[in-house]
Chains A and B, each alone.
Chain A
Amino acid sequence: MFYRQAGIRYTSYPAERQLWPLGIERVLMGLILALALIAPALLSPLLLSSYLLPWVIWSIAALGLNLLMGGAGQIHLGYAAVMAIGAYSATHAARAGLPFELSLLVAGLASAVIGVIFGAAALRIRGLYLAIATLAMQYIVDFAIGHIPAISGGTQATVATPTPRILGIPVEGPVGGYYIALVVCIVVTLFMLNLRRTSFGRALAAIREKDYAAEILGISAFRYKLMAFWTSSFIGGVAGAILVFCYYRSVSPEQFHLETSVQLVAMVIVGGLGSVLGTFLGAALILLAPLALSALVASLASSGLPIGSDLRAHLPLVLYGALIVGFLIAEPLGLAKLYDNARKYLLVWPFRHARS
């Protein structure tokens, strides 16, 4: 009903290429943005700092990974290592007295430089072989961080992050951290949304579809694969820095192990490769579903259902796995495709289908 394109006649190319041609989607976007901005006033501090804040931060990281996996078609199983590099370099830069804004930049650059070195492997190998090469990055970075006291402060050590200062003003508490994360998230989201409208984004899509077909069109696979790793690692580094500054407030090696990398890949795949909306949905499902399911099982148990303590610990995990598998069987292209199906249905409603 609200999904109507009737009467839309473009008179310029920018109008035709606008991000949200449907009025209803512009309204929805505005609504979501407004809700995100006033969320600290609406939500309890607990909800804000343990649900919304991590969701926003992990979405930034998953967006960066989606640039690489969905945008350029290169798999990365060591993305948590990229975030770790950003987290540690930002922490040390800030502790050395650099302003927070510059520390974020340092985080991005450090991750990008190291990420691109491992990304160079993608020039020669693809698919499962690249997965192994990036897995190697995860282990090498884990090892380096753990065994170089200058970085981690020794094995098992935790380095506290200084309070972030924006333009010299200290930003404290979960609300301040939330707004920092939200601003970065908005910037990264806008970048990702606009990526497909740039020559860079189109070059990445060409490489994703068939890299040798891209080469014969004059797109240097060498250059654009490295650029994809560079950009994606930059975003990952910034996300890692935001994560430790605004959420954990300290940095330690076990925050960025392989499990985290796998979770990030799961977010991207469950959400939908190459989809910005899907990345947010995927991050929500992977991150928030375990918490919600635990709460559900706990409330069921306390309401008198015969759920033993053993079952109570494991049932949420079982349901979580079933949920992910269920969503992927229902829609192999991810959560974003579910919205896309509904959108296409509403666009042709009340007719059953359009001429292709």
Chain B
Amino acid sequence: MGDISTAAAGSPPILSVNNIEVVYDNVFLAVKGVSLDVAEGGVVALLGANGAGKSTTLKAISGLLKPERGAVTRGDIAFRGESLLGLDPPDRVRLGLVHVLEGRRVFEHLTPRENLIAATSMHRDRRGVKDLIDRTFTWFPRLAERAKAKAGYLSGGEQQMLAIGRALMTEPKLLMLDEPSLGLSPLLVDEIFDILRKVNAEAGVAVLLVEQNAAAALDFVDQAYLVDNGRVVMGGAAATVKANPDVQAAYLGGGHQVDYAAVKHYRQRRRWLS
């Protein structure tokens, strides 16, 4: 399994999740031991099968468990050294952490521009808001083209861009993305990852990405964690994770030929890991 901690030596991580356990409805255990670190300005992926607990982990970080009757029952989540547990979602956004939900959730009856402005409730000066909108439109020129349409009529890719752009309006230090590639064409996925790379480089925003599309995600990130059955089972540099034969077999399709023996081997080992 190796060393799970991947924080770069020296600089303290911006986000540090320490062995959290999440229980839904007081009874159903969804996450039973996820630990991860995101370095300042780092780009990290959380990979795993459906139902492994990836989205639940993100919701625990952004504080969205409560409406779904969930709670963090053990462990700690620290953002820039400060514990997040006990803070409401809006307070967490003020600290500089923002969550782009799975399935986009744009405000359908508002225009893209109004969507962006809606995310600036904590900004008081108008000039600052205007600069932020310009910055977002520079990153997402497609949104500028459609600034006056209703968000509900945008294409899926444009809505995803709007959701990310809207999150960036809060000037986050950490951007959490839940399946940005959902239902998008491979070309659009590439385009969105290119933009995210630019955002990361220009604004120094750290990114925590949850993805099903493991191949695309591993090309994009520096570090990756593998979640299985509610636990982190592997973590390390993206290249190392990508090269791992188990990951190759189970998540990347094993190159050109699916090696069923390897998949079986992984499944057997997985029982010991979880």
The interface of chain A, by Cβ under 8 A from chain B, is 341, 344-345, 347-348, 352-356
Distance from B45 Cβ to chain A, minimum over Cβ atoms (Å): 24
B28 interface contact, C-beta 8 A: yes
Report yes or no: B28 in contact with A356, Cβ–Cβ below 8 A: yes
Q: How large is the interface on B (under 10, 10 to 19, 20 to 34, 35 or more residues)?
A: under 10
Report yes or no: A344 in contact with B25, Cβ–Cβ below 8 A: yes
Report yes or no: B26 in contact with A341, Cβ–Cβ below 8 A: yes
Residues on the A chain within 8 Å of B24, using CB: 356
Closest B residue, CB atoms, query A340: B25
Tally of A-B Cβ pairs under 8 angstroms:
24
User: Complex Cα distance A223/B27, Å?
Assistant: 38
Closest A residue, CB atoms, query B53: A356
The residue that B29 contacts in the complex, of A341, A344, A345, A356, with Cβ under 8 A, is A356
Distance from A95 Cβ to chain B, minimum over Cβ atoms (Å): 53
11 inter-chain pairs at a CB distance below 8 angstroms, sorted by A residue, are: A341-B26, A344-B25, A345-B27, A352-B23, A353-B23, A353-B27, A354-B27, A355-B28, A356-B24, A356-B28, A356-B30
User: Complex Cα distance A177/B92, Å?
Assistant: 60
User: Complex Cα distance A95/B127, Å?
Assistant: 78
Residues on the A chain within 8 Å of B30, using CB: 356
Chain B, range 27-60, C-beta contacts under 8 Å to A: 27-30
Q: A341-B25, A347-B27, A352-B23 are in contact. List 4 more A-B contacts (CB 8 A).
A: A353-B23, A354-B27, A356-B28, A356-B30
User: Complex Cα distance A355/B23, Å?
Assistant: 9
Closest B residue, CB atoms, query A353: B29
User: Complex Cα distance A348/B24, Å?
Assistant: 14
User: Complex Cα distance A355/B274, Å?
Assistant: 13
Distance from B29 Cβ to chain A, minimum over Cβ atoms (Å): 4
Closest B residue, CB atoms, query A333: B69
Report yes or no: B28 in contact with A345, Cβ–Cβ below 8 A: no
Residues on the A chain within 8 Å of B23, using CB: 352-353
Closest A residue, CB atoms, query B23: A353
Residues on the B chain within 8 Å of A348, using CB: 27
Distance from B162 Cβ to chain A, minimum over Cβ atoms (Å): 23
User: Complex Cα distance A354/B32, Å?
Assistant: 11
Closest B residue, CB atoms, query A332: B69
Closest B residue, CB atoms, query A344: B27
Report yes or no: A354 in contact with B26, Cβ–Cβ below 8 A: no
Residues on the B chain within 8 Å of A344, using CB: 25-27
Residues on the B chain within 8 Å of A354, using CB: 27-29
User: Complex Cα distance A344/B26, Å?
Assistant: 9
Distance from B159 Cβ to chain A, minimum over Cβ atoms (Å): 19
Closest A residue, CB atoms, query B51: A356
User: Complex Cα distance A224/B30, Å?
Assistant: 36
Residues on the A chain within 8 Å of B26, using CB: 341, 344-345, 353
Report yes or no: A355 in contact with B29, Cβ–Cβ below 8 A: yes
Interface centre among A341, A355, A356 (most CB of B within 10 A): A356
Residues on the A chain within 8 Å of B29, using CB: 353-356
Chain B, range 2-38, C-beta contacts under 8 Å to A: 23-30
Residues on the A chain within 8 Å of B27, using CB: 344-345, 347-348, 353-354
Residues on the B chain within 8 Å of A347, using CB: 27
User: Complex Cα distance A347/B27, Å?
Assistant: 9
Residues on the B chain within 8 Å of A353, using CB: 23, 26-29
Distance from A297 Cβ to chain B, minimum over Cβ atoms (Å): 35
Residues on the B chain within 8 Å of A356, using CB: 24, 28-30
Chain B, range 212-241, C-beta contacts under 8 Å to A: none
User: Complex Cα distance A353/B29, Å?
Assistant: 6
User: Complex Cα distance A88/B26, Å?
Assistant: 48
Residues on the B chain within 8 Å of A345, using CB: 26-27
Residues on the A chain within 8 Å of B28, using CB: 353-356
User: Complex Cα distance A26/B26, Å?
Assistant: 25
User: Complex Cα distance A345/B26, Å?
Assistant: 8
User: Complex Cα distance A168/B25, Å?
Assistant: 54
User: Complex Cα distance A356/B32, Å?
Assistant: 11
Distance from B87 Cβ to chain A, minimum over Cβ atoms (Å): 21
Contact with A along B70-104 (1 / 0, CB 8 A): 00000000000000000000000000000000000
User: Complex Cα distance A348/B28, Å?
Assistant: 10
Distance from A342 Cβ to chain B, minimum over Cβ atoms (Å): 10
User: Complex Cα distance A353/B73, Å?
Assistant: 11
Distance from B225 Cβ to chain A, minimum over Cβ atoms (Å): 21
Residues on the A chain within 8 Å of B25, using CB: 341, 344
Distance from A261 Cβ to chain B, minimum over Cβ atoms (Å): 30
User: Complex Cα distance A352/B24, Å?
Assistant: 12
Distance from B266 Cβ to chain A, minimum over Cβ atoms (Å): 21
